[in-house]
Amino acid sequence: MSRLNGFLRGVRVLDLTRHLPGPLAALLLADMGAEVLKIEAPEGDGMRDMGPRRADGRSAYFTSVNAGKTTRTIDLKHPEGRAAFLDLVKTTDVLIESFRPDVMARLGVGYDGLQEINPRLIYCSLNGFGCTGPMAARAAHDLNYVSLAGALPPVGPGGSLTDTPLADCAGGLFAALAIVGALHGRARAGRGCHLDLALVDAVMPLQILPLAALGAAGAAAPPGEGLLNGGAACYHVYETSDGRRVTLAALEAKFWRAFCAAAGRPDWEAQQGEPLPQRTLIAELTSMFRQLTLEECERRFGPADCCFAPVLELAQAVESAHVRSRGLVHRAADGELQPLFPALVDGEPPRPRPTLREHDPRARKSQGTNHKSQRT
């Protein structure tokens, strides 16, 4: 076991969440050593039926965000299931749920009741719009949250979208961070708490710089006109003569100076501070890059220390020298790829996640189990 995989050893987590945000939060806790029991209703997590299939027929999406956990089926709508669940809560450190507000209370397992059973319980509600507010009961998914948060990126040709769920991933990350902080706070105060996180809210901290610009100037820069969204020649995406793309991010003067020297255009150096959008300068750089192949660009600008990089497809990124050297994307024998917790501790990467441990995942009856955990 690596040191990272032992940080939360002894912490017990009940994961009642579905799809991506909550399971991701619980996955990160499991990566740090927590024991995670995933509780599913008799019909199972809907993620089981989504996405590409592995060789064994299971959803690759489901297994990827639930690796290292143990699943158990409990029907909270039936008294025996609810009793079994309440028994688990007695020795649980963290509970994560993703239902709309009041659903858990209607099932008889809301925060107030569980806090009486276990005052040290950290109860995390992670849903679309939080437990309060005018949209709290509304249904939505990642695309809706990102659009409502003012962060929807430009839509590609034919209406194509990025397949990285921004709000879902941010929500999972902030939930895991809040839970770790709450565990630390509980160690001092001796009591748990209720964490209320909304996925739409999780997008806002990611926009800290656009929000700073909005506050200072009264308006955010339109796409293609701001420093970081395409309006600056030094921070832009360019196309090569062989149809590849490269990125230049020479924001600091020293990097821009190095780029201009490598490009053989010292006259560009004084133009970095010109008003945005820098359409004329961007056009000149566009013309230069379109006369070079990707290989020629890498030979010229790669060694120049000017914040230059090619645009890689995901399959290329996984096989890159950097990713392979860090050991943070694990390829299993069956080809499954695991992006591990992105931190080395004292130079040691985390261990690959164990496989999902299924405990009667589709059964209709709940079965009692005696669990004990160390207290944090």
Q: CA 122, CA 375: separation in Å to the nearest integer?
A: 12
281-308 pLDDT, tens digit per residue, is 999 999 999 999 999 999 999 999 999 9
Which strands make up the sheet holding 308-310, listed edge to edge?
235-239, 245-249, 308-310
Question: Considering only CA atoms, which of 102, 274, 95 is closest in space to residue 192?
Answer: 95
pLDDT at 12 over 60: yes
Annotated active-site residue in 45, 75, 93, 168: 168
CATH number for the domain formed by residue range(s) 4-206+333-339: 3.40.50.10540
The pTM (predicted TM-score) of the whole model is: 0.91
* Percent over 90 (pLDDT), the chain: 86
Q: CA 60, CA 49: separation in Å to the nearest integer?
A: 10
Q: Is residue 75 annotated as a catalytic residue, yes or no?
A: no
The set of long-range contacts for 104-111, using a CB threshold of 8 Å and a minimum separation of 24, is 107/76, 107/77, 107/82, 108/76, 108/82, 109/76, 109/82, 109/85, 111/194
Question: Considering only CA atoms, which of 126, 110, 104, 105 is closest in space to residue 26?
Answer: 126
Mean pLDDT, the chain, integer: 92
Name beta bridge partners: 238: 246
Domain spans of the chain, in order of start: 4-206+333-339, 245-310
Which range (107-116, 195-204, 210-219, 359-368) has the least confidence? 359-368
117-165 pLDDT, tens digit per residue, is 999 999 999 999 999 999 999 999 999 999 999 998 877 778 788 889 9
Q: CA 244, CA 154: separation in Å to the nearest integer?
A: 20
